[in-house]
Amino acid sequence: MDKKFSHLSAKGDPSMVDVGAKSETARVAIARAVVQLDDAIIDALLDDEIQTKKGPVFQTAILAGIMGAKKTSDLIPLCHPLGLDKCCVEIEVNEQKEVVIDCMAKISGKTGVEMEALTGATVAALTIYDMCKGFSHNIIIKDVRLMKKTGGKRDFDRNEET
């Protein structure tokens, strides 16, 4: 096996990856989280939004997801602090009545934005959980995963996997 963990020094200690010699490239990552809600919560959907005493659930989750993506390096110890060029969160309810959250992060830089996209999708999902737990604790956050990334050494697209 010639692959190695990028965040370990030669001695095996945690180490931030040195990106100093890398060229800046356009980098984009899209991550997804799926939230399974109780029927009582889904029944509260009105015009693709859930209104609670805390406010509109999906609109609040979108803001929280963007804020989470921007704070990724504060949460994940070896992530580089990045000034994102763009971040957006989209939320929709699919045919299975699951909430699908997609977070896209974009930068022109020396390192990728996969962790920012994953953090944004996860924080949005946690916000939905927090705002809806008064209805029911029967909420499942599942399938948090990278869907696509471009820029850097290897592009990745989950839809093109074999």
Q: Which of 130, 143, 155, 157 is labelled catalytic?
A: 130
Q: Are 102 and 89 in contact (CB under 8 A)?
A: yes
List the structure tokens of 59.
């609109």
Q: Are 141 and 133 in contact (CB under 8 A)?
A: no
130 noted as active-site residue: yes
| 3-state secondary structure (DSSP) of residue 124 | helix
Q: Which helix H or strand E contains 31, and what residues bound it? A: strand 25-36
Cβ atoms < 10 Å from Cβ of 43: 12
Report the alpha-carbon distance of residue 152 to residue 127 in Å, rounded: 31
Residues tagged active-site: 130
